[in-house]
Amino acid sequence: MDGPLKNLLVVDLTRVLVGPYCTMILSDLGARVIKIEAPEIGDDSRKFGPFIKDYSAYFMSLNRGKESIALNLKNDDDKKIFEKILSKADILVENFKPGTLEKWGFGWKDVSKKYPKLIYASASGFGQTGPLKELPAYDMVVQGMGGLMSVTGQPNSEPTRVGTSIGDITAGLFAAIGINAALFDRQKTGKGMFIDVSMLDCQIAILENAIARYLSNNEIPKPMGSRHPSIAPFEAFKTKDSYIIIAAGNDKLFEKLCNVLGIPEAIKDPKFADNSSRSKNMDELKKIFENKLSQKITSDWVSEMEKDKIPCGPIFNIKEAVENPQIKERNMIVKSYHKIIGEFKLAGNPIKMSSYKDEKTRGDIPDLDEHRDKILKEFN
């Protein structure tokens, strides 16, 4: 696939989500990705549902456009093959538990001596340093330890996981950002570098308002449902048939919203005079809003508010989100191909670049060890 990372070779030693998500981004940006998998077993996610004709849709959605070769890095012959591939690589990405690759002779210190231009990215649960560095972690573990679950869900509810594996995904994104920064640095210095990304660190990094509240005045935030902790009105409201999201984040938008709802008196009410006042009195304001919103269905309110450029929207399920004409126009549902199941639809790349065409088709989905002969011939 064409893109700004074309002609760069990525050696992908990752599995499941955090690493494959990172290398998927690199592939979508044009890099060639060779995925090294365990013989016979492959990436663990090959066994994760949902399945199409016994093939994992989970795996396929993350590994389109990659090449696969099965190597046992404890085996001397396979180590030699891996070395030959690595000698030509620009980037290595791995998400083993810290210390694992060192045991096999492929840690950063060993590899960087042989290949000083190599960019070596490691994504792990807790990073390469600290008292927890050797512990395993999954997405939900870092969502909990990173404080995210403590501010997710309804007030007084049981702990609630964010609906996607955001612990893995954010680490994959930060790893990709780090790799691209390291590529730019290499142009200046001629040297590679080691990139250490911790899933737990990434959860702390995205706490935004919650961590600001604690660090500024020792407030420990709690879950608030859909409500924003410091902007009002900024949450989900009941309508006649469902819910509507309204995000009127400043006084001008609040005035427009009150006029659309037919409650101009709220504009001059001292309890709602500014954002701070509205935040303090949001329970009362919500009752006033929902009394009006209950008179029409969500789609009617969205149409009326959009005319006045008030930020709002319905709450879509996945089917509705995927079939949204805006998503189609933005090429966010693309196609890939698997030799057994045929055409497969998956999420596209949200990064649109003026110098490169956003293709509607991605590279093929690899079977385990599918590209062995091709890779051995090339790197022999």
Q: Is 338 a catalytic residue?
A: no
Cα–Cα distances (Å) from 346 to 30, 97, 327, in that order, read: 17, 29, 12
Q: Residue type at 40?
A: E
The CA distance from 248 to 251, in Å, is 8
Q: Across-strand partners of 121?
A: 93, 195
Q: Which tokens go with 185?
A: 């640095």
Output Rg (C-alpha) for the chain, integer angstroms.
25
3-state DSSP assignment of residue 312: strand
Question: H helices of 196-249, where?
Answer: 199-205, 208-217
Give me the helices (H) in the chain, please.
Answer: 18-28, 57-62, 76-86, 100-103, 108-114, 139-145, 166-189, 199-205, 208-217, 251-261, 265-268, 275-280, 282-293, 298-307, 318-322, 325-329, 372-379
CA–CA distances in Å: residue 125 to residues 25, 41, 136 = 20, 22, 6
**Contact, 9 vs 42, CB < 8 A?**
no
- What gap in Å lies between CA 154 and CA 160, rounded to an integer? 9
Phi-psi region of 7 (alpha: psi -120 to 50; beta: other; left: phi over 0): left
Catalytic, out of 79, 228, 335, 338: 228
Task: Give the catalytic positions in this structure.
Answer: 228
